[in-house]
Amino acid sequence: MTKKEKATLFDEYLKKLYGNVECGLDSGGDPFRLLVMAILSAQCTDVRVNIVSKTLFEKLPDAKAMAESKEGELEELIRSVGLYNSKAKNLRACAKRICDTYDGKVPKEMEDLLTLGGVGRKVANLVRGDIYGLGGIVADTHCIRITHRLGLTTKPDPLTTERELDKLIPKSEQSDFCHRIVMFGRDICTARSPKCDKCEMQSVCKYK
């Protein structure tokens, strides 16, 4: 079986398991809000980020408000997500650049997104895929671990995972594929003890 065939088989299996999926971050389809929430989600659960974001966006609804927020205000609003000092610093810089350079709108191009504070390829791909429909592999810990176990990637690192999966999964499928793989990583192919006996990929999985 080629890697492409295995990736297609896995994609179909994930669809069968999880059907239609949505991003765990409840941004309401707003690019700036998804960007902020993705930055906040580093080492924090989606549930916590959704709770914190509700109040945050009531007080600071857009890039302009966030860029102009008083010193300490943003920190206080996001305190419970952890690493709040560095996240606040990144968010303020990100919001300011969006206002100053991109006329208040979140850019679409990868090279532009990567100039924003706190935005790496994972966050950029999430926004490009979920908001702008441009596809993008969100190489998070689940995606990296599982696709390497399956033998779809040659190295378990973010950039290799993104580049190699980009050739195996059609652009139009990439966002949903990444959302489903997170669910699969929590339910079945967990980090410590994957439930291989329950997994329909076991006959073609390198790890198994």
Among 85, 101, 115, 202, binds ligand SF4 (CB under 6 A): 202
Q: Using alpha carbons, list the distances in angstroms from residue 130 to 21, 38, 96, 137, 195.
A: 11, 12, 23, 11, 29
Q: What single string gives the DSSP state of each residue in 16-44?
A: HHH-S---SS--TT-HHHHHHHHHHTTTS
Q: Which of residues 159-188 bind ligand SF4 (CB under 6 A)?
A: 188
Q: Rule CB under 6 A: is residue 42 a binding residue for ligand SF4?
A: no
Given 6, 11, 87, 122, the catalytic residue: 122
Supply the minimum distance, in Å, between the C-beta of residue 199 and ligand SF4.
3
Supply the minimum distance, in Å, between the C-beta of residue 175 and ligand SF4.
20
Q: Rule CB under 6 A: is residue 207 a binding residue for ligand SF4?
A: yes
Active site residue 140: yes
Supply the minimum distance, in Å, between the C-beta of residue 46 and ligand SF4.
22
131 close to 142: Cβ distance less than 8 angstroms: no
Structure token digits, residue 115: 């100039």
Among 149, 153, 158, 178, binds ligand SF4 (CB under 6 A): 149
Q: What's the rounded Cα separation, in Å, for the pair 165 and 8?
A: 11
Closest CA to 138 of 3, 29, 54, 23: 23
Supply the minimum distance, in Å, between the C-beta of residue 51 and ligand SF4.
31
Q: Which of residues 59-118 bind ligand SF4 (CB under 6 A)?
A: none
Active site residue 112: no
CA end-to-end distance (rounded Å), the chain: 16
Catalytically active residues, by annotation: 122, 140
Residues that bind ligand SF4 (CB under 6 A): 146, 149-150, 188-189, 194-196, 199, 201-202, 205, 207-208
